[in-house]
Amino acid sequence: MTDSTLLDPKNDFVFKKLFADAPDLLAALINAIRSDEVPITVVEVLNPRIDFIALDLLAEDIEGRRYNVEMQVRRYNAWSARSAYYLARTLTGQLKSGEDYQSLKPVIGIHLLDFELFEAPDQAAQALWCFELRDRRQPHVTLGNELQLNLIELPKADRLGLAQPALRAWVGFFEHWQEERTMAAIAYAPVQQALEHIKALSADAETQRLAFVRERALHDEVSELRAEREKGRREGMLEVALKGKLEGQREGLETALARLMQSGMSEDQARQLLGL
């Protein structure tokens, strides 16, 4: 049985609304994704205001480490460059005039992907990724802990299943939030709390409206990109056809020029006759 009235937590507007209002749930999500690290407590969400330009979450823990958490609903062409840029900007944005580098705190990116980013055969069995500055020959040697990017491919994680119970529960929430029977079987308390938050958000008319506006904007963006690609494909085909036509005309004129000159006409006379 499904509940079609519930808002989708993978809608990035709904995602931010949910976790900006519940830092304890955000900490539970972060800890589930980084289960091999010491658990953290989110002290503050630094950008709780919601707009449609930036729908990521910037949070800080008790040690001053910063977490850039976002739901990514579509794959950008320059995906890796975009992710690295925003993570680096979060790091450099800490420094104020006159401060030295020792005041920098680590920055951890956590991106939940509503698509599969790594599709090669040898990547098919992994859905959770962690990228750091490591030596190529000795990957156990890190340059430092200033930058870290964690990725989870939600569709792949759901298909594979995950051994870590808390993360498996979160994946179930994001992939099956409408399925009452599936959600009832999840005993992990933070996910049940998140589901209650989603129910409350879904009952608010203004939140429903804004979620729809965001969803429509994403659909429009995808449609425009598809139209631009189709336009580019048609223009490319037209350019090839036109180029072929011009090449054919040029070859024909060169053949006519050669025949006129063979008949005894000078090159200047032949070019003038052909309008060259």
pLDDT range class, residue 45, cuts 50, 70, 90: very high
Name the nearest CA neighbour of 166 among 34, 19, 9, 42: 34
pLDDT for res 180:
93
For 4-40, write each residue's pLDDT tens digit.
789 999 999 999 999 998 999 999 999 999 999 999 9
Helix (H, G, I), strand (E, B) or coil at 7: coil
Q: Phi first, then psi: what are they for 11, rounded to 5°?
A: -65, 120
| Helix 23-33 vs helix 165-176: crossing angle, to nearest 10 | 120
Q: What is the mean pLDDT of residues 95-108?
A: 82
Contact 108, 64 (CB under 8 A): no
Name the range with the highest mean pLDDT among 22-31, 83-92, 139-148, 155-164.
22-31
**Cα(233)–Cα(85) distance, rounded to whole angstroms?**
30
For 51-80, write each residue's pLDDT tens digit.
766 789 999 999 999 999 999 987 777 778
Whether residue 143 is predicted with pLDDT greater than 70 in this model: the reply is yes
pLDDT for res 123:
95
| Percentage, residues of the chain above pLDDT 90 | 53
For 156-186, write each residue's pLDDT tens digit.
999 998 879 999 999 999 999 999 999 999 9
More confident position, 137 or 232: 137
**Cα(91)–Cα(208) distance, rounded to whole angstroms?**
34
User: Cα dihedral angle (80, 86, 91, 95), rounded to 10 degrees?
Assistant: 150
For 207, the token pair is: 């939140």
Q: Which helix (H) or strand (E) holds 128?
A: strand 128-132
Phi-psi region of 98 (alpha: psi -120 to 50; beta: other; left: phi over 0): left
Would you list the domain boundaries of the chain? 12-203
